[in-house]
Amino acid sequence: MTAMTQSTFAPDKDWWRGAVIYQIYPRSYQDSNGDGIGDLKGITARLPHIAALGADAIWISPFFTSPMKDFGYDVSNYVDVDPMFGSIADFDAMIAEAHRLNIKVMIDLVISHTSDQHEWFVESRSSRINSRSDWYVWSDPKPDGTPPNNWLSIFGGSAWHWDPTRMQYYLHNFLTSQPDLNMHNPQVQNAVLDATRFWLERGVDGFRLDTINFYFHDRLLRDNPALAPERRNASTAPAVNPYNFQDHLYDKNQPENLEFLKRFRAVLEEYPAIAAVGEVGDSQYGLEIVGQYTSGNDKMQMCYAFEFLAPEPLTPKIVAATQRAFAAAAPEGWACWAFSNHDVVRHVTRWGANVADRAAFAKLMAAILMTQRGSVCIYQGEELGLTEADIAFEDLQDPYGIQFWPEFKGRDGCRTPMVWDSAAQQAGFSTAAKTWLPIPVEHAINAVSVQDGKDDSILEHYRRFLAFRRAHPALVKGGMEFHTIGETALAYTRMLANETVLCVFNMSAEPARIPLPEGSWDALEGHGFTSTMEDHAVELPAWGAYFARHA
């Protein structure tokens, strides 16, 4: 099959602003060939589910050729599909079907590092004198043989690994099998931009850029200073990881990245209506970096930081502080918000482990997420209210969890297979006797087949609320103003042109009476929440919400 052209529907260069993006972890979405692992044909078969949900786009985690030491985030060939997931033809068929359903396709581009099995690294490590000798970050040891500086790997231990062939250390911010590319080298930049064009030629509508702030390192390899204990934050790495003990001034977040992002954006501009969202992996300077990377309309269209992926329970104060901090740091920028993804504990568990009415809690969290100013990422299974799975040590696959067990159990608990049919083998995910990760019983009983068409289900709530959101442009692209920021009460308006929509939330397990802002408000319908009005205040049940339009 020849390369696909761009989407056949009319291009809208601004489609990403306020888009709802559904994240697919391909290993766990749908298995089409019975090997217990999801694949591209499986994704294609399930695209109608995403269309029915009402998402504007999908983001597919890596499916490139890889030894799978980090499950695709260790790429050994940027321009091919790993046989585990299918073929280029399968990708072309998938993108064609997505576009037929008016779903944009974004793919996960991992260009801060490669697999150590990538042909670039194989050549680079073969000698100190070869055509790619400077394509990775190599350094001589200190006189005593120790690594060149104190930089740490997110996966634990030193970020430097000794190579006996070159008699040098190479940098790896993640696994030792994930050497960092030397983006200071223009040839490396050209190579990753060529890979970007390859997928643009196949018709993708955009990219999610993994670890975007890790692209460049300090040329002088200066030591990171220590971070005061009171400033340590566990959102970049688990609390048991000494990575949090450093102020990461030199191993990432370098100013040279801004010029490269301009080069990357220029490639996107060669094609119609392409967008990119960057993952800023930094709990210390995240919003500041987001502001830099989204400024000027010549770098990223949008970025997301870790504020809403943090372990601390969501509160009205956190919502308001995060939005205000983003507006201050990135006045020209646009955020992309997520409550869950493939790297963190699912938010229904992370924030609601002690909540009695888990379904009501999940519905309220969805309403808060989908009324934020910014674009939205929904992680597969979130629309079913799936909780974090408890994976036994013998079933663990994630090297991160294996390294820090039992204090940190890794990321497998949020990566278990999607559940489609409670009555089918492996909940409809696979016909295999064993899947790559086990499927919890508590997930299977909440499968799509159980919730589909059930008006009070979490799935139908997501479908209903996405439709409600689309019906009110202020919720998609509008500005934001806060009115009530209490311990559990939250109220804000979203404004666009002549429409102002009021959003009021009771973020507690007890009924609440919340006064409305001044003015006349007409209650809106179609969102699925119930409330009563009295004396310019709204009476909300536990985990309740109210929406109105300014009269």
Catalytic residue among 70, 108, 210, 251: 210
Q: How far apart are CA 407 and CA 387, in angstroms?
A: 19
Q: How far apart are CA 321 and CA 307, in angstroms?
A: 10
Q: Looking at 275-392, list the stretches that DSSP marks H as alpha helix, in order from N- to C-terminal side.
A: 286-293, 316-329, 347-350, 358-369
270 is catalytic: yes
How many helices (H) does the chain have, and how many strands (E)? 14, 21
Q: Are 463 and 453 in contact (CB under 8 A)?
A: no
| CA atoms within a 13 Å half-sphere pointing along the CA-CB vector of 244 | 14
Of 63, 40, 23, residue with least CA distance to 208: 23
Find all residues with CB under 8 Å of 214, minimum gap 6, and list them: 112, 113, 173, 180, 251, 252, 281
Q: How far apart are CA 24 and CA 15, in angstroms?
A: 19
210 is catalytic: yes
DSSP secondary structure string, 258-296? HHHHHHHHHHHTTSTT-EEEEE---TTTHHHHHHHHTGG
User: What is the phi/psi pair of residue 489, to 5°?
Assistant: -100, 135
Encoded amino acid at 430, one letter = S
Q: How far apart are CA 423 and CA 162, in angstroms?
A: 51
Catalytic residue among 144, 230, 270, 522: 270
Of 118, 95, 2, residue with least CA distance to 47: 95
| CA atoms within a 13 Å half-sphere pointing along the CA-CB vector of 106 | 28
Encoded amino acid at 74, one letter = D
Q: Which helix (H) or strand (E) holds 47?
A: helix 40-53
Of 60, 54, 149, 163, residue with least CA distance to 109: 60
Catalytic residues: 210, 270
